[in-house]
Amino acid sequence: MISKIDYIKEYAKELKLLNLQKKIDEFIEHGENEDLSYQEFLYKILNEEIIAKEERKKQTRLKNAGFPVIKTIEEFDFEFQKSISKRHINRLLEMDWIDKIYNLIFLGPPGVGKTHLAIALGYKAIDMGYKVSFISMDNLVYSLKTQDIMRKSKIKINKIHSSDLVIIDEIGYLPINREEANMFFQLISALHEQTSIIITSNKGFGDWNELLGDPALTTAILDRLTYKCELFNMTGKSYRLTHRKSFLED
């Protein structure tokens, strides 16, 4: 004989109330033990369902973002990195720059925390409900070039186009040719004024010409990126070098 509980589980599944489906026994036991009113009982079930659903959506956004690691603002040492103000970053954590479609550019030598801050802001944006895509410049160029022949590349590029925030990490480690620069320009043009972009680069704008091959294209790209933009020139020592870990000496 099929019990009422089994029916409820089936119905919950059919209605995609996955939390209820999983925890129905617990809910009933809790309701009976705590002598909940009908109103309280229903409230608890629906409230937990909403919370669980939001959490699942957030986990999906996090997976789709493609962060290489998770970094948070709480882990960032503003005493070590003094060229950026904690007050400014806290202001950015409110995320209204994404609604207003501003870009952020972090420039500076290796190890000063550019990628850390970019990921931390992206992570917080996901927490607040935004869709984010993280991609290294190398991987972006590769994905742009192979999107017509590789499903994985196409999926990544599509995700980029449907994101609220796109983080392009490490422009400048490898120079790109004119054809690649042209594809990059097409992408930036398509995202421009629709999507916020965070760029990190170890090269100053003066070096971008050499990097992107073509001066006219570089100007056009920089024009779009810097039109509505906060620029952070980060300086200082490499956090990695200063906090170098030794396996043998520790």
Nearer to ligand ADP, 167 or 221 (CB): 167
Residue in 131, 119, 139, 141 with CA at minimum distance from that of residue 67 = 119
Positions that interact with ligand ADP (CB under 6 A): 71, 75-77, 80-81, 108, 110-116, 200, 239-240
CB of 139 to ligand ADP, least distance (A): 15
Which of residues 61 and 114 has its CB atom nearest to Mg ion in the complex? 114
What is the residue type of 209?
A: N
Which residue lies nearer to ligand ADP by CB, 20 or 171? Answer: 171
Q: Under rule CB under 5 A, which residues in 96-135 are in contact with Mg ion?
A: 114-115
Contacts of 137 (CB under 8 A, 6+ apart): 168, 169, 170, 171, 172, 173, 174, 176
Least distance (Å) from Mg ion to the CB of residue 106? 9
Which is nearer to ligand ADP, 112 or 157 (by Cβ)? 112
Sheet holding 132-136, edge to edge: 132-136, 165-171, 196-201, 103-107, 229-233
Read off the DSSP letter of residue 217.
H
User: Token match 């952020």: residue?
Assistant: 104
Beta carbons within 10 angstroms of residue 160's beta carbon: 23
Positive or negative, the CA dihedral 41, 46, 49, 50 is negative
Residue nearest to ligand ADP (CB): 113
Quote the least distance from Cβ 44 to ligand ADP, whole Å: 40
Give me the least distance between CB of 172 and ligand ADP, in Å please.
11
Binding flag, residue 196, Mg ion (CB under 5 A): no
Residue numbers of the site for Mg ion (CB under 5 A)? 114-115
